[in-house]
Structure 1
Amino acid sequence: MRKPSRLVSVVAIMSMCLMSLVWGAPPASAQRRADMQVLSDAETDHIIRKMARPIFQAAGVDPDSVQILLINDPSVNAFVAGGQNIFLHTGLLLTVDNAEQLLGVIAHETGHISGGHLVRGTEAMDNAFLSSLIGIGLGIVGGIASGNAGAGAAGVMLGQHLAERNFLSFSRTQEASADQAGLSYLEQSGISSRGMETFLEKLGVGEPLLNDRDAGYRLTHPLTRERIDAVKAFVARSRYSDARLPAATEADLQRIQAKLYGYLDPRGALQRYKASDPSAAARYGRAYAYFRQGDVRQATPLVDGLIAQEPRNPYLYEMKGDLMLQTGRAVDAVAPYRKAVDLAGSEAGSIRVSLAHALLEQHDPGVADEALKNLQIAAKGKAQSAFLWRLTAQAWSMKKNDGMVAYATAEEALARGDLPMAKAQAERAERLLPAGSPGWIRAQDIRGQTGGAQAGGGQAGGTQAGGRP
């Protein structure tokens, strides 16, 4: 049974400077909307992280400590917030011409991280909200295209009326500093800095700024001729200016771009990726487009063909599982999800949540233990999310353990930002679980985190969260 995407309504003091995608035509369904979504996809995260790892290492930053979140917005933008968290807009990811440009942006943002630059106005951000946003973005499980609560996109509604023009803005000094740091990281990594140069030139500095909506990257990252000239000068003297990234790296970028197009605009993706194009990226884009349209008949052979070509690619099996799960075939989804978990190894956290989802959709208490095992492993990594804890509560319910149901429900509420609910369920878990047990101890922690939250209220600082599938 198809389920709707999880949309978590959030009102918080946070600004996003939005614009129409002026550097290229955005997917039709990705036009500016009244809400924004944090998209999560295991493959996209894996590919971008793999590409960026040398840059993080050159900066002296633990690659595994950097969280990369994808914002579903057509504007060309990127920013850092809340420490080592890099937010990339889909508009930017779809606009870069090559992997060098994307790495130029990431190197620049890493420069902000290593420089300890704070987003202007950060003191106005509700830290609990940011933590929730980051947790939601990293925790949604499964493929980016599946469109349900278990394997789709997390929707985080950010009230436009709360937009603050300068919230994401850096000073010109910070921008120049981040440029130089990023250029040095690229040089240390043996990566051409020409991508940063061509990206900045692509944005240009001559066009008049019309308003916040249209200013985009140039507003949040003050773009000056001096910046571009400084980058050009560095490229001219760099030893690696003419270095080229491996063809496989460019192919990886093309794949995740095709996946994004298929997710954001299925009709447009089918026009962009013609049936006459036999490339892996084109077939990927068509497969996701058909998937989004619910056309199982045409999606299935494309997915199977891709698996036959790359039998060791865990994300193709994940996609196969998503396809089965979304079309009401939960039993059939289990095998490809298990295969994906096996192949992905330590990076299988979100896929494990999808596997648990498929198991629990069978409503068979006999599979509750396997589902719980996968959820518990996923909860130790980056896959924590409200949905993970909702599934965990469902599994414990099948095992008729009311105390653990209460505990898991408290974790879910905390992840959603519903502090009163988290507090109430944590207190219930404390009453039902054995004193000193892991769940009881964690329930105490949650109760402490919720402070003086009152039933019927929202988070402190004006943040409210709610909404269920």
Structure 2
Amino acid sequence: MRARLKICVLAIAALACTAQPAVAQQILRDAETEAFMADMSGQLVKAAGMEPKNVQVLVINDPEINAFVAGGQIVWVHSGLIAQADNVNQLQGVVAHELGHIEGGHVVRFGEGIKEATGVTLLSLVLGAAAIAAGGAEAGMGIMGLGQQAAMTKFLAFSRGQESSADLAGARYLSKAGLSGKGSLEFFKKLQNQEYRLAIPQDNSYGRTHPLSGERINVLREVYTVDPAWDRPPDKVLEARFERIKAKLIGFVSEPTQTLQKYPETDQSIPAHYARAYAWHKGAYPQRALDEADALLAAAPHDPYFLELKGQILLESGRPRDAVAPLRDAVKITNQPLISVLLAHALIATEDESNFAEAEQVLRLAVQRDRENPFAWYQLGVVYERRGDTPRAALATAERYAMMGEHPMALRSADAAMQGLQAGTVDYLRAQDIAMTSRAAIEQQLKKR
């Protein structure tokens, strides 16, 4: 009986894991993309009653058409979703839905659905065991099986209820922000076409974690078509920025041949130049990539993201000295931490000690504004090490390992930093904090074993 109880509970837990994906994929951090995502979603975040500065919309490298929330105020968007979206309004519709999950506390409440379903399972186990003890082995096993089925049905209904709630919440946010719901319906139609291709029965959504796309379209159509913003076109500036983001993303994640088919050289648009620059760079044709970057800069000489692109191509093609100038210009225009880290990387890669002081200054400012960047801490550690400041190099390493969840290495590096730092200083206290947090995390992990 004990073994069967464990299996039943694990069945519910496994379902919970599939409903809320873990963030195991590669996070695609890009200055232009993150700025666009913040601007694209800002009105929706305010409409949901949240502070835009506290909400992030980040991209992960996954070809599936999906988006999700997994705790906190972060919306995770798959690269495949952006690649398949036709316009910015479709992306806004998806983000609005995910914000509905955040506002509704659905990740936190997810445990309620598991608890209720597990309760049904446990009751069926008790009744089944009683029947078996009374001599009715077959009846007892039947009760247990029915109990598991009832538990799963209850859980799936709970999950579908959350999805429907998020759909309607997203519709409210779009309306309040003055954005059309056309994009939302268009994207659900894409999902419906995918269901058709997968031969998913369309009669009802019984046995699914999400309502069928057709069911969702029917409900939302009644809401969206009567909204004053229904016929309002997307913002032209945001739409142009979306096309750039989509193109550079496709160029970065797709095979070069696929990118060049989608954006042939006969296409002289800004998005096409962008996509081809990444495709040629990925395919190890640096000069062709630079030609595309120069075409972009000819159209907009002071665009910081075009300058960043040229600097990145030069740096990663083994020309760090040439990369410094365009990256310096990009940082001057945006003061964006991700671009600043790229500039520091170029300065360090020159192996010219006269550049190290600038690299340190740039990196210190970058980590003040964006501490969640392991590569920035790595670069800062390199600068300190080359300057002979071993304690601060160890502290930077501790920061990096702590951020990555490598608690033993973080503790070791923090202890090494404290050995050389003056007690009571800001850096010493920070190393002490990392050591205490890492030690507690290690102890917690040991208790779970």
TM-score, structure 2 length as denominator?
0.79
Residue 286 of structure 2, aligned match among 290, 296, 303: 296
Moved more, 221-230 or 404-413: 221-230
Match of 1:379 in 2: 367
Residue 62 of structure 1, aligned match among 41, 46, 51: 51
Sequence identity of aligned pairs in percent?
A: 40
Question: What whole-Å deviation, never above 9, does each CA across 1:281-321 have from its counterpart, x for those lacking one?
Answer: 11111111111112122111211121121123211111011
Q: Is the 1:420–1:458 Cα contact (8 Å) retained in structure 2?
A: no
**Shift, 1:38, TM fit:** 1.7
1:436 aligns with 2:424: yes
1:414 aligns with 2:398: no
Q: Is the 1:68–1:86 Cα contact (8 Å) retained in structure 2?
A: yes
**Shift, 1:210, TM fit:** 7.3
**Shift, 1:207, TM fit:** 3.5
| Structure showing greater relative contact order (alpha-carbon pairs closer than 8 Å, 6 or more residues apart) | 1
**Shift, 1:209, TM fit:** 6.2
**Shift, 1:459, TM fit:** 5.8
Q: Is the 1:42–1:350 Cα contact (8 Å) retained in structure 2?
A: yes
1:84 aligns with 2:76: no
Match of 1:403 in 2: 391
- What CA distance in whole angstroms lies between the structure 1 residues aligned with 2:160 and 2:105? 15
Match of 1:449 in 2: 437
Relative to structure 1, the CA distance from residue 119 to residue 204 in structure 2 (aligned partners, 3 Å threshold; closer, same or farther) is farther
Q: Is the 1:321–1:332 Cα contact (8 Å) retained in structure 2?
A: yes
**Shift, 1:389, TM fit:** 1.0
- What CA distance in whole angstroms lies between the structure 1 residues aligned with 2:267 and 2:108? 43
SS state of the match for residue 451, structure 1? helix
1:104 aligns with 2:75: no
Match of 1:259 in 2: 248
Structure with the greater alpha carbon radius of gyration: 2
Match of 2:268 in 1: 278
Q: Is the 2:164–2:211 Cα contact (8 Å) retained in structure 1?
A: no
Q: Which runs of 5+ in 2 are unaligned?
A: 1-13, 113-154, 201-206
SS state of the match for residue 79, structure 1? strand
SS state of the match for residue 278, structure 1? coil
**Shift, 1:330, TM fit:** 0.8
Match of 1:24 in 2: none
Match of 1:392 in 2: 380
In terms of fraction of residues, the more helix-rich structure is 2
Relative to structure 1, the CA distance from residue 379 to residue 17 in structure 2 (aligned partners, 3 Å threshold; closer, same or farther) is same
Q: How many residues align?
A: 384
SS state of the match for residue 83, structure 1? coil
- What CA distance in whole angstroms lies between the structure 2 residues aligned with 1:307 and 1:180? 43
Q: Which runs of 5+ in 1 are unaligned?
A: 1-12, 20-34, 124-166, 212-217, 464-469
**Shift, 1:248, TM fit:** 2.5
The code of the aligned residue for 1:235 comes to Y
Residue 318 of structure 1, aligned match among 285, 308, 312: 308
Q: What is the aligned-residue RMSD (CA, Å)?
A: 3.0
Q: Is the 1:17–1:220 Cα contact (8 Å) retained in structure 2?
A: yes
- What CA distance in whole angstroms lies between the structure 2 residues aligned with 1:238 and 1:374? 48
Moved more, 88-97 or 377-386: 377-386
Residue 326 of structure 2, aligned match among 305, 325, 336: 336
SS state of the match for residue 369, structure 2? coil
Match of 1:48 in 2: 37
**Shift, 1:356, TM fit:** 0.8
Q: Is the 2:310–2:323 Cα contact (8 Å) retained in structure 1?
A: yes
Match of 2:296 in 1: 306
The code of the aligned residue for 1:278 comes to Q
SS state of the match for residue 55, structure 1? helix
SS state of the match for residue 358, structure 2? helix
1:204 aligns with 2:222: no
- What CA distance in whole angstroms lies between the structure 2 residues aligned with 1:290 and 1:254? 19
